[in-house]
Structure 1
Amino acid sequence: MKYFIPAWHKQYDDWSINVPSIENYDAAEYMTVLKKFDEEIGLIITDYQPQLLSKLNQIAFFPNNLFSVYDFLQGVHGFENKVLELEDFNWPKNAIFDYGPFRTLIVLENKLYATVFYDIDGHILRISYPENDEHKAFTLGIDSRGFISNQDDEEKTIYFDPYGNWRFKKDKTTDKITVNPEMHFCKRREYENITDLVDEILSRYLKVNAKNNDEIIVTVDDESSFNNEIIEPYKPLYIINRHHPYSKKIGSLAKAKVIVSSNEIKQNLEKNYREQFDISVIPVFNSEFRLGHSQRQNVQEIGFFAENANDENIHQIIQKLCNYILKNPDNYSLKIFTYNFWKADHVNKILEQIKEENKNSFILGKSEQAENAPIDGLDDEVSLPELDVAHTRLTNISDVLSNLDKMRLLINWGKADELMQISGVSIGIPQVQNFSSVTVVDNKNGRIIKKISELLPVVDEYLTNLNSWNQTVVYNVQLMNQYSEENIIEKWKEVFKERKAE
């Protein structure tokens, strides 16, 4: 069994404030590939995750063995799942229900009695009760399997089993944990903090279940909910995930085997810790060669991934590309990509700024979006060229692949994004960027440039010289072997083989 202990901290937001985005579930890609090639996978979750099953459904993955520390603490064993509806709660007889698109307000005698919040799937996420004459304000958290999981107020959090019995409490002032004296699932009645309790349960689980030939694979995580001393006797493999801070925890580890997803991370570790770690590079995202369809398009689309670029560079790059497209607006278009909601807002503001700065030179947007108001000082019959420039915020992996499918060229700026880079290689398109990465080799499947002033000649080369573009396709096909599922699993097998030989 390969037991993974990932850094799954984030919980679902309610639908009204949830911003769709690409979710990075730590270690999910590794687990998926290993299980696909018949490795037995155990998943150990040490954080409070009342929507755990919903998350597993979201990533379409279920391990051979699943252990949640909080499920054990809350006595969730063999509970028959159900979806809680409003009718399942005991509301006051004269309550009025005000149904909204994101939440339901329950009103009693012209006063707010409770607010029901929903997750993105429309399931009840939590119910908040405001302060009144009978009680202080509190919130009930709902487990996606259909029971009240906890009650939270400004002083404490109480955790329940599926049948409404309280199991343990956390004092928010002191962090102390108090266990229900009638329950016998742990050794003590009180703990200094939740980490002590999690340590005890995790240690007991590993002692009973982890066998000599099993592997414990742990994400190095500064926000870890357990102490590393619990897993050190099992000589774990460690994973570095760039999305989770690890600088504090990594230095405290004994000499160990570490898996990283890129040479960049490996080089940083070797620089800072010299020979403390034995490091292997295993890509996170596997590739399936799916040649794009840009050659079938009448308009050549230029893609610009702006997520990791600063505002000044974004402005300069878009302006230069607009100037390039202006020479032949019927043949070229530009699509800008971001992930983050706030980054997307910045890009939209930059586009508005460019539109204003160039209002007498061109119109930004397709004809149906263009603002065709007359320009001061110009005859009404004079029309400005319309540039096909659009911005798209990518919210899932399918978005990435479908948007890149018709791209002729991808520009990356700032630093590497593993998903975007491997997707570009999979589609077969050249990538132009101002940084080095293992997926783009200069003059093979793209260009590494230093300055924005170098950008347009390279763009023109790939859009007008078919030989350069075809060379990229050929090299990307060769590169695919390094990022195929088969190659990734071979890298894992090599690591496991070395471990057994130690």
Structure 2
Amino acid sequence: MFYFIPTWNQNHTDWEQEFLEWYYTTRKMEFDDTVNQLTMFSQAKEKNKTIILEYAPMLRDFLQRQDLYDIDYYSIFDDAQDTRVENVRPIDPFEFDWPKNAQFIYMLFNVLVEVNGKSYAQIISGNLGQLQRINFFEEGRTSKTYIFDDRGFLSSIINFNDNGQFKEQIFFNLAGEWRFKLLPSEEVIINSTFQDDFKQKKYTAMRDLIEEKYNEFVIENIGKDDVVVIASEKRHNQRILHAKKTGKVILSIFSQRLNIEQCFPNEEELAKVDVIVVDTQQNEKLVQEKLETMGVSIPVLQIPPFDSRLRLGQSQRIKELKIFVLVDNTPLDELEIIVDEISQAMYENEKINLILGAYSANREANGKLDKLKKKILDKIDFTEEEIEIIETAENQVESETNKELVKQAKFFKRITFYKIESESELIKELNFVRLIVDMGKDTDLYLQIAGISAGIPQINSTPSPYVENHKNGLIISDPLELKEAIDYYLVGLKNWNQALVYAAGKIVQYSSDNLIRLWSESLELVAKKGENDE
């Protein structure tokens, strides 16, 4: 049986998942190697279980977004809090015992509760409308926060002192009894009533309690023939690879989570690893170099984290020819050349539209978008306000000079400055895109995968196993070659259709069945390593 241990922790702590207000929860790319692994194992009906180490009261919300709602999982905190429950029980916060003169004011993103004209509480919902937390106020400061589990019960309460600083976090069971509490010193105190469920009366830090419960689960459930797949991350490696080992261990390295140069596991941690799985050929090379330098022998296998939720796009159904350019990993001076090259194509063909995209969480990339917009406006010598006025008066324009102004205004309107909030939003945007351009030295892995799935040809500056030159894309070393590359795919349909057919073959190549076969190969490597170690 496969046991997957993800690290979906986005918090500053090493023991909890961060869940912001519902309108922020998806403002980051959440897809990773573990999401893909769980998806394909479920589709192939391979026996697997997920071990959730972090405190995650909104876990079901996350799983639903990733189409993993039905996975089988064991939660450390469900065990420690005694909150194992499968049924969802909706909570109506308006049925709580509020003060009699409480007024509920429906704000744009939450519900504000006022008592005698003063802020008393703030009710915050999760991504699916479920109660997520309630902040209570005293004298204009937050005095306590109720944190609710998305299955419908109070999970913990955070209390703050008179200065608004953290005082304690109390964790409850389903009956509302406190099981343990976290102090500002990071110590965890156990309720003496439930002492029999724990080995210590108090723990130096939450990670010690997690490690205790994890070791208990390993001893009781994981046998020598089972396989544990660990999502490699610095804090995660330290926590899991220092714990008791049972079964075979595969370390899964994902580009957007682990910096191999700076955070690679040490010799002690690697001693418990049987096989390392990486997502790209570049990472495969880096890992092998690291192992050689350390004098450690561990098999390394590349398995792409392919998102099987994606489908072929529909760009051929619309008249516009949309070009999507990711700006994140490309220097600004090169981007300016890229925009100039695409602009030439846009002036020649009015059907061509440009989408300049950047991940919303990347401030530097968003700065590039702003600078590119300013440069384009400066070049056509307009402000955005002037463009709106010109468009409004288009039907009244008669002179050739004014017609040229309208043409320039329409040109700018064919450019979209797009901030990528989540992978689901990116997928929607790519549905009608005809061509992807990513000229960064480190091409974006998820964008490449999404492009393959949508059947979109891609233009890159560096080779990769996902985009092959003159097959499902073009590899060009100089951005000045971009205009010719655009013509290659947008003038006539022959080359574009050939890329679509090749991309469809890639989809089959990265199907769940074929990826499961690669995982079977990883098990063979595990077995061989075990024989060599004996």
Contact in 1 for aligned 2:187/2:206 (Cα 8 Å): yes
Contact in 1 for aligned 2:327/2:369 (Cα 8 Å): no
Question: In 1, distance between residues paired with 2:138 and 2:317?
Answer: 63
Amino acid at match of 2:21: D
- Evaluate the alpha carbon distance shift between residue 381 and residue 188 of structure 1 in structure 2; reply closer, same or farther with a 3 A threshold: closer
Alignment of structure 1 residues 196-345 onto 2, 5 Å: 196-224=208-236, 226-245=239-258, 247-248=262-263, 250-251=265-266, 252-254=269-271, 256-274=274-292, 275-286=296-307, 292-329=313-350, 331-342=351-362, 345=366
Shift of 1:432: 1.0
Shift of 1:165: 0.9
Answering whether residue 416 of structure 2 is matched by residue 410 of structure 1, we say: no
Shift of 1:266: 0.7
Question: In 2, distance between residues paired with 1:63 and 1:290?
Answer: 22
Contact in 1 for aligned 2:83/2:173 (Cα 8 Å): yes
Residue of structure 2 in register with 1:352 after alignment:
373
Question: In 1, distance between residues paired with 2:61 and 2:279?
Answer: 27
- Evaluate the alpha carbon distance shift between residue 445 and residue 18 of structure 1 in structure 2; reply closer, same or farther with a 3 A threshold: closer
Helix, strand or coil at the partner of 1:81: coil
Shift of 1:169: 1.2
- Evaluate the alpha carbon distance shift between residue 429 and residue 81 of structure 1 in structure 2; reply closer, same or farther with a 3 A threshold: closer
Alignment of structure 1 residues 82-481 onto 2, 5 Å: 82-132=89-139, 137-152=143-158, 153=160, 154-172=166-184, 174-183=185-194, 184-224=196-236, 226-245=239-258, 247-248=262-263, 250-251=265-266, 252-254=269-271, 256-274=274-292, 275-286=296-307, 292-329=313-350, 331-342=351-362, 345-346=366-367, 348-360=369-381, 370=391, 379-380=401-402, 382-385=404-407, 386-387=410-411, 388-397=414-423, 399-414=425-440, 415-464=442-491, 466-481=493-508
Contact in 2 for aligned 1:19/1:341 (Cα 8 Å): no
Shift of 1:201: 0.7
Amino acid at match of 1:273: L
Q: Which runs of 4+ in 1 moved over 6 A?
A: 361-369
- Evaluate the alpha carbon distance shift between residue 114 and residue 290 of structure 1 in structure 2; reply closer, same or farther with a 3 A threshold: closer
Aligned length: 498
Question: In 2, distance between residues paired with 1:334 and 1:347?
Answer: 15
Shift of 1:129: 1.8
- Evaluate the alpha carbon distance shift between residue 208 and residue 83 of structure 1 in structure 2; reply closer, same or farther with a 3 A threshold: same
Per-residue CA deviations over 1:201-251 (Å, capped at 9, x if unaligned) read 110111111123221111111132834221434341111122323543523
Residue of structure 2 in register with 1:5 after alignment:
5
Question: In 1, distance between residues paired with 2:282 and 2:454?
Answer: 23
Shift of 1:188: 1.1
Amino acid at match of 1:314: L
1:486 to 494, 499, 513: 513
Unaligned 5+ runs, structure 1: none
Contact in 1 for aligned 2:391/2:406 (Cα 8 Å): no
Question: In 2, distance between residues paired with 1:364 and 1:460?
Answer: 33
Residue of structure 1 in register with 2:14 after alignment:
none
- Evaluate the alpha carbon distance shift between residue 378 and residue 104 of structure 1 in structure 2; reply closer, same or farther with a 3 A threshold: same
Helix, strand or coil at the partner of 2:474: strand
Question: In 1, distance between residues paired with 2:499 and 2:385?
Answer: 31
Helix, strand or coil at the partner of 2:299: strand
Shift of 1:500: 4.3
1:24 to 25, 31, 44: 31
- Evaluate the alpha carbon distance shift between residue 84 and residue 193 of structure 1 in structure 2; reply closer, same or farther with a 3 A threshold: same
Shift of 1:257: 0.6
Amino acid at match of 2:250: L
- Evaluate the alpha carbon distance shift between residue 227 and residue 383 of structure 1 in structure 2; reply closer, same or farther with a 3 A threshold: closer
Shift of 1:353: 0.8
Unaligned 5+ runs, structure 2: 10-16, 161-165
Contact in 2 for aligned 1:365/1:390 (Cα 8 Å): no
- Evaluate the alpha carbon distance shift between residue 379 and residue 243 of structure 1 in structure 2; reply closer, same or farther with a 3 A threshold: closer
Greater mean alpha carbon deviation, residues 460-469 or residues 413-422: 460-469
Aligned-residue CA RMSD (Å): 3.3
Contact in 1 for aligned 2:76/2:210 (Cα 8 Å): yes
Residue of structure 2 in register with 1:44 after alignment:
51
- Evaluate the alpha carbon distance shift between residue 390 and residue 216 of structure 1 in structure 2; reply closer, same or farther with a 3 A threshold: same
- Evaluate the alpha carbon distance shift between residue 17 and residue 476 of structure 1 in structure 2; reply closer, same or farther with a 3 A threshold: closer
- Evaluate the alpha carbon distance shift between residue 463 and residue 159 of structure 1 in structure 2; reply closer, same or farther with a 3 A threshold: same
Amino acid at match of 1:407: V
Question: In 1, distance between residues paired with 2:24 and 2:371?
Answer: 25
How much identity, in percent, do the aligned residues show?
24
Question: In 2, distance between residues paired with 1:358 and 1:82?
Answer: 58
Question: In 1, distance between residues paired with 2:53 and 2:314?
Answer: 44
- Evaluate the alpha carbon distance shift between residue 226 and residue 308 of structure 1 in structure 2; reply closer, same or farther with a 3 A threshold: same
Question: In 1, distance between residues paired with 2:340 and 2:7?
Answer: 40
Question: In 2, distance between residues paired with 1:485 and 1:365?
Answer: 52
- Evaluate the alpha carbon distance shift between residue 401 and residue 87 of structure 1 in structure 2; reply closer, same or farther with a 3 A threshold: closer
Shift of 1:469: 3.3
Per-residue CA deviations over 1:18-42 (Å, capped at 9, x if unaligned) read 5644422550111111122121111
Contact in 2 for aligned 1:41/1:65 (Cα 8 Å): yes
Amino acid at match of 1:438: P
Shift of 1:63: 5.7
Q: Answer 1 or 2: which has greater helix percent.
A: 2
Question: In 1, distance between residues paired with 2:129 and 2:308?
Answer: 33
- Evaluate the alpha carbon distance shift between residue 32 and residue 380 of structure 1 in structure 2; reply closer, same or farther with a 3 A threshold: closer
